[in-house]
Amino acid sequence: MSAMIIDGKSRAAALDAKVAEVVAGLKSAHGLTPGLAVVLVGDDPASDIYVTNKVKRTEAAGMRSIEHRLPAETGEADLIALVESLNADPEVDGILVQMPLPKHIDSDRVVMTIDPAKDVDGLHPMNAGLLVLGQPALVACTPQGCVDLAKQARDGDLSGLDAVVIGRSILVGKPVSLLLQNANATVTMAHSRTRNLPEICRRADILVAAIGRPHYVKGDWVKPGATVIDVGINRIPAPERGEGKTRIVGDVDTEAAKAVAGAITPVPGGVGPMTIGFLLVNTVVAACRRRGIPEPKIA
Ligand code: NAP
């Protein structure tokens, strides 16, 4: 039996379409067009592609996109001053500062400066803390994408399932674990010091890999019928495509896992496209909350 492929691209397209519908409704009912400000410091090519995609999808959903592209040598104080001006701008509902920032800038200090009500990346300690309390406000986008795709594969219900999350980063592993707990799964968090990782993984009805190591999770670590969410984005050499060429693979040995799992996300085309989808959702949520408009149900 081969696992069902969880198509993140089409789920993200459906989310974008729903966001566009909600935005059109907000415009006609409240005269509101949510605005998302994206700040990019430097010229990292991968970050440049992410920001370009974010801007495109924000505009395609009918929202306003405000772009700030700053030179790599921008000082921390100047970046913080820009974030403060975006905090104060009533036309801006969401603020995203593209990570990673150049090494001379303390990213924690920048994130702390973002108004929590506009923190559409969900990284501010206030939003992270609310998630821990089980009162999520603005939740990090990739983790929301992971849990949404797991629910797609499980008819929307994760209650009582055993979940194992490999990785405990602030960006992915920790919030995914908390969201799964909030969805009533029984969650084990694994990391680089975990003993007997293959054995622990074999207990998982939902297995989330957020490690950053190509094909690390083997097919025989997967419980038959499990839902596998592969968050990893790893670039590996692909000589079959020509000299010096590379390709992107996940943290899971997808081909081997497919033979055992019930459902699995591909890389690329799984979790990746969901991140911007939930960025748009968060921007709409932030815009409504800031104005006391009842929050639309999008995902
Ligand atoms: P990270 O901050 O480097 O965290 C990696 C986690 O994996 C750490 O908790 C680490 O454990 C754990 N780990 C490392 N080696 C391990 C091992 N051998 N066995 C078990 N656990 C191990 O990375 P991240 O930001 O969470 O990202 C993880 C992956 O997701 C990366 O490939 C990244 O590119 C990808 N990603 C994708 C998206 C998307 O949109 N699809 C978004 C964000 C990230 P310790 O805590 O013990 O060190």
Angle in degrees, CA 205, 278, 98, rounded to 5: 115
Average pLDDT over residues 188-192: 98
Preceding peptide of 71 cis, ω within 30°: no
State the pTM of this model: 0.97
Q: Measured from the CB, is residue 173 less than 6 Å from ligand 1?
A: yes
Ligand 1 centroid – CA 170 distance (Å) = 10
What pLDDT shows up at residue 77?
Answer: 98
Domain ranges of the chain: 31-115, 141-273
Contacts of 282 (CB under 8 A, 6+ apart): 94, 120, 121, 122, 138, 139, 141
pLDDT beyond 90 at 1: no
Closest by CA to 34, choosing from 278, 288, 299, is 288
Atom nearest to 232 CA in ligand 1: 32
What spacing in Å lies between the alpha carbon of 83 and ligand 1's midpoint?
Answer: 28
Residue 211: band (very low, low, confident or very high) from pLDDT cuts 50, 70, 90: very high
User: Which pLDDT score, from 0 to 100, does residue 8 have?
Assistant: 98
**Ligand 1, pocket-test mutation among 192, 196, 207, 251, most atoms within 8 A of CB:** 192
**pLDDT for 194-207, tens place per residue?**
999 999 999 999 99
pLDDT value of position 220:
98
98 is catalytic: yes
**Rg from Cα positions in the chain:** 19
Neighbours of 196 (CB within 10 A): 9
pLDDT per position as a tens digit, 22-60: 999 999 999 999 999 999 999 999 999 999 999 999 999
Alpha-carbon distance of 145 to 299, in angstroms, equals 10
CB-ligand 1 contact for 233 (6 Å cutoff): yes
Equal fold, 31-115 vs 141-273: yes
Cα separation of 292 and 84, whole Å?
22
Is the link from the previous residue into 100 a cis peptide, with omega within 30 of 0?
yes
Which residue, chain included where needed, has tokens 């495509």? Answer: 241
Is 4 a pocket residue for ligand 1 (Cβ < 6 Å)?
no
pLDDT score, position 32 = 97
Token code pair at residue 156: 């929307």
Nearest CA to ligand 1 atom 22: 192
What confidence score (pLDDT) does residue 58 get? 98
CA of 177 to the centre of ligand 1 (A): 13
Mean pLDDT, range 270-293, rounded to an integer? 97
User: Angle at which helices 141-153 and 173-182 pack, to 10 degrees?
Assistant: 50
User: Does ligand 1 come within 6 angstroms of the Cβ of 270?
Assistant: no
Q: How far is the CA of 297 from the centre of ligand 1 (A)?
A: 30
Indicate the pLDDT class of residue 76, thresholds 50, 70 and 90. Answer: very high
Q: Which of 16, 93, 115, 121 is catalytic?
A: 121
Residue nearest to atom 30 of ligand 1 (CA): 232
The whole-chain average pLDDT of the chain stands at: 97
Q: State yes or no: is 144 an active-site residue.
A: no
Question: Is 214 near ligand 1, meaning CB less than 6 Å away?
Answer: no
CA 237 to ligand 1 center in whole angstroms: 20
Closest-CA residue to 265 (of 139, 169, 146, 140)? 146
Residue 157, pLDDT > 90, answer yes
Residue 161 or 299, more confident: 161
Q: Distance between the two ends of the chain, CA-based, in angstroms?
A: 30
31-115, which class in CATH? alpha beta
Hey, which of 57, 231, 248, 271 would you mutate to test ligand 1's pocket, going by the most ligand atoms within 8 Å of its Cβ?
231
- The CATH number assigned to the domain with range 141-273 reads 3.40.50.720
Judged against a pLDDT cut of 90, whether residue 136 lies above it is answered with no
Using a pLDDT cut of 90, give the percent of the chain over it. Answer: 99
Mean predicted confidence (pLDDT) in 122-143: 96
